[in-house]
Amino acid sequence: LPLGVTRMSAGVSTAVGGHAKPAKTGQFEISDPRSVAEIEAMLRSRGYQAVFKDWEPIGASA
């Protein structure tokens, strides 16, 4: 795990001109079939700690 992911986006296109026309190839794979538990175990085995956070909107009342 040489890089850490700090943000993920849904509905992105990684293909050149991806939103201009339908294409079957992208620059890289954007899906991962592993479960959350499998990802967490992989991170722990490499000395990382998985952090789970359900973010609240700015200005949310307590």
Counting as low any pLDDT under 70, the low residues of the chain are 1-4, 6-30, 60-62
Closest CA to 37 of 28, 29, 45: 45
Token duo for residue 41: 């175990």
Give 33-49 pLDDT, tens digit per residue: 888 888 889 889 999 88
Domain ranges of the chain: 29-62
CA–CA separation, 11 vs 62, rounded Å?
32
